[in-house]
Amino acid sequence: MNELKRKGMTLVISGPSGSGKSTLYHAVAPLAGGIEFSVSCTTRAPREGERDGVDYYFIGREEFEARVARGEFAEHAEVHGNFYGTLKSELSGRTERGADVVLDIDVQGADQLRQLAREDEAFRRTLEFVFIAPPSYAELERRLRARGTESEETLARRLANAKREMQCADRYDYLIVNDNREEAADRLLALIRSLRLSLKRMNPGDLIS
Ligand code: 5GP
């Protein structure tokens, strides 16, 4: 039987800071294979251990604004007082050649991509939206404190934002509650494997051609 070629998906993952989304998809990506991360631009300062070009492209505000003006972003937003954006160049071509692209972006960015997809049928077919939620607000606060990367001020801001972001969860197609890391990773892996079976991104006619 011919191997049925499929287009890749653009898997948008959102969830409050501290929901554990980045740990989750980094655990799942090697198991799923064929996943490529979209590296965002940010004006936030790098945290210890973060690498430029791997975790983010760390750029200044001026450069960020210049890139906005040149139309280089597929979406961009201000989150927790810093700017973040997905470069069009991080997306183009990858799903065409069958790679699945994961975007870790906030709810505003996800809204902008939904908007873009309205006018772009091919892009719409690639899109899938997953929301990762913490089991409770108290657990979210505990995790953010344990991470130790935030000052009291940025912690308070991230917690306030978390409440707002949770209210947007119903705009997504899939929800994973990250109560237990292994179980949540299993669910994300199962979801990715299922989404790879979607006929939206296949042409079954290829099977008999
Ligand atoms: P952090 O500073 O903790 O790395 O990320 C803060 C928030 O910014 C997270 O919710 C993350 O999903 C979001 N974020 C990261 N990159 C992007 C991006 O390119 N666009 C948007 N809209 N949000 C992003």
Query: Could you tell me the distance, in angstroms and rounded to a whole number, from the CA of residue 105 to the centre of ligand 1?
Result: 5
**Is 84 near ligand 1, meaning CB less than 6 Å away?**
yes
Asked if residue 127 belongs to a domain, the reply is yes
Averaged over 56-84, what is the pLDDT?
A: 97
Contact 55, 39 (CB under 8 A): yes
- SS3 percent helix, strand, coil of the chain, rounded to 5, is 45, 20, 35
* SS3 label, residue 47: coil
Residue 104 CA to residue 120 CA, distance in Å, equals: 21
Domain-embedded: residue 4: no
Nearest residue by C-alpha to atom 23 in ligand 1: 105
Report the nearest-CA residue for atom 22 of ligand 1. Answer: 109
- Can you give the pLDDT at residue 125? 96
Q: Nearest C-alpha to atom 15 of ligand 1 is from which residue? A: 105
The answer to whether residue 208 is domain-embedded is no
pLDDT value at 75 more than 50: yes
User: What is the average pLDDT score of the chain?
Assistant: 94
The position carrying tokens 């991080």 is: 90
In this prediction, residues 19-45 reach a mean pLDDT of: 96
Instruction: Report the domain count for the chain.
Output: 1
> b/e for 15-37, b at 16 or more Cβ within 10 A?
bbbbbbbbebbebbbeebeebeb
> What pLDDT band is residue 28 in, cutting at 50, 70 and 90?
very high
pLDDT at 30 over 90: yes
pLDDT value of residue 3:
61
Check pLDDT > 50 for residue 108.
Answer: yes
CATH of the domain at 192: 3.40.50.300
